[in-house]
Structure 1
């Protein structure tokens, strides 16, 4: 005989993926589960509203910029840059910022090899601080990624060594733009001093 089908409505799945009959689940655990699922569902709906708002707002801003350009018979093409729009009374402003993702290609390894050679050639102990800075720059984070800011910071070191300068050129040449992301921030003036206050949509900041 075939075993009767399990009615999933009579079971709840626990953290280990096991099915537990609802009769064996404490009422407080059922209530907690219901509350969490309710809040998550509302949060997902709110997230979609924010995403839809951002997409619509960015589209409207782009259309306005095109309209503004038409007044001067200018046709804009390609990606838009950073911009700020103000209300007529200057009490509100909308900022759009483009953040680029920077990555290094294989030439970074060439630069690292030249830097290692510099460290070998330099007198022991005389540049210990520089060695620490270099080692920190090329260290990776928990995700195995190199800190772009620290690598680029090496170029600010005043080191008059031809091999070092060549390594810095290699670092610059290895830098590539992998992509970009648009950020929109909205502000209002508050207080007697009229300072700008960010209208945040981040729950953690509210």
Structure 2
């Protein structure tokens, strides 16, 4: 029995090669068995991950479609005419309250050049106070304006500065500069799913890899892929039965034609 061909194999003059990370062709016979095994399970895991990602995308699309249909039904019931109005945060619950779906809408924020003016004023304030500067204020400002690898500041930390109370006449200008720097360029909605636990509290149903954990219920549930496979198999069986029935009907009609 021949072994299945490696998905990344390149066959040249009867010899099989694989490309390494640099793009060079390496004879598969020269690759360590452990590296081939690692390659195999990484490809398998990533294939499942891509399937799960696609399923999540389809699931999200269906959820938003169902919510939009329900919103349209309510709008129709109450005579709402402005169908283009933006929907904000809202919750949907089962009758017994044990399950809940939340739509959370968050603004996507960027900062304009006014933020640099706020930073200059903050630097002036801290430098002038020198030893008398509030260590907490210094720490918060340093953290807020610390940039990540992409050069972006932490939005939450910047906005949190506005809630501070600083005894300095320039503080009002600093807060105003931060306010003026905020530019909302869009919004993004998120779906959250909750189930009431035994303690009566609503617990989020995790959908990210960092939050999920293996449990008996997880393994008891049939995977979506298996359901699809079973449905496809059932459809194939149904088609075969229809073909057999059609062939039988055709044969009977042929015999009737001969008799007639």
TM bucket (normalised to shorter chain) is 0.7 to 0.9
**Counterpart of 1:95?**
102
**Counterpart of 2:35?**
29
Consecutive unaligned residues in structure 1, runs of 5 or more: none
How far apart are residue 121 of structure 1 and its match? 4.1
Please state whether the residue corresponding to 1:52 is helix, strand or coil: helix
How far apart are residue 148 of structure 1 and its match? 1.7
How far apart are residue 109 of structure 1 and its match? 1.3
How large is the RMSD of aligned CA atoms in angstroms?
A: 2.3
Q: What does 1:154-165 align with in structure 2 at a 5 Å threshold?
A: 154-165=161-172
Q: Indicate whether 1:54 and 2:73 are aligned.
A: no
**Counterpart of 1:143?**
150
**Counterpart of 1:194?**
200
Q: Indicate whether 1:16 and 2:22 are aligned.
A: yes
Deviations 1:36-94 (A, max 9, x none): 21221122112101101101111211221121122111234233211110112222111
Distance 1:200 1:42, change over 3 A: same
Residue of 120, 123, 130 corresponding to 1:113: 120
Question: 4+ runs of 1 displaced by more than 4 Å?
Answer: none
**Counterpart of 1:125?**
131
Tell me how many residue pairs correspond in the alignment.
200
Task: Give the helix-richer structure, 1 or 2.
Answer: 2
**Counterpart of 2:220?**
none
Distance 1:9 1:88, change over 3 A: farther
Distance 1:118 1:70, change over 3 A: same
Residue of 173, 178, 182 corresponding to 1:166: 173
Distance 1:66 1:180, change over 3 A: same
Please state whether the residue corresponding to 1:125 is helix, strand or coil: helix
Within 2, Cα distance between the matches of 1:41 and 1:50?
14
**Counterpart of 1:79?**
86
Please state whether the residue corresponding to 1:183 is helix, strand or coil: strand
Residue of 60, 64, 73 corresponding to 2:70: 64
How far apart are residue 9 of structure 1 and its match? 7.5
TM-score (ref. length: structure 1): 0.85
Task: Give the structure, 1 or 2, with the largest relative contact order (CA under 8 Å, sep 6 or more).
Answer: 1
**Counterpart of 1:184?**
191
